[in-house]
Amino acid sequence: MIKSTLALILTLGLGFAAQAQKFTSAPASATVLADLTIDLDGTQNEIAFGNLSANTPGSIVLDANGTDNANTGTITNVARFNLTGADTEVTVSYDATVTLSNTDPTPATMVMTPEVVGNALNTGQTSAAAIASGNTIEIENGVFFIWVGGTIPALVNQATGTYTGTFNINVEYN
């Protein structure tokens, strides 16, 4: 009788343990899109403020839309990036500032604050909309164009020479 009772208790106990176990699942998926690429344009391939005075009294503005420069040299250039990929949303991130450095003849620096605009048409620079770092744009027909200018504060007794720096931009699918 004791063996029968133990067998019954053991059977009931295993039954309860089996009912305590639960199972669920989740679907898994991925969408593969065309390669996302961003290339510096072959013609508009640098951010160039031109020749500046060491004592430029106001901010130096290289307008990314190409319509409203202030205190720049005569020969300027706005950089253009050609973004290609799938027709979907892309997050654009870039440096908040760019340090321009001069090592000859006297080491010195200037800080540029980038201005970034974009448009789905390569002819749309003048009407391109501002793109804040971390914001999303929409690729249309496989392309999107990004123009970059910037602002340098007024110069007071700035060391002479050629100043250079690097603007970094990153794009990724959402």
| Pairing, β 135-138 against β 89-94 | antiparallel
Is the residue at 16 inside a domain? no
Is the residue at 1 inside a domain? no
Element (H, E) at 11: helix 2-20
- The first and second tokens of residue 77, run together, are 């250039």
- The first and second tokens of residue 101, run together, are 């450095």
Task: Please count the structural domains in the chain.
Answer: 1
Tens digits of residue pLDDT in 60-111: 999 999 999 999 999 999 999 999 999 999 999 999 999 999 988 889 999 9
Residue span of the structural domain in which 156 resides:
28-173
Q: In this predicted structure, what is the pLDDT of residue 156? A: 96
Burial of 89 (0-12, 13-18, 19+ CB in 10 A): exposed
Is the residue at 2 inside a domain? no
User: Any idea what the CATH number is for the domain that residue 39 is in?
Assistant: 2.60.40
Is the residue at 7 inside a domain? no
**What's the pTM?**
0.84
Is the residue at 115 inside a domain? yes
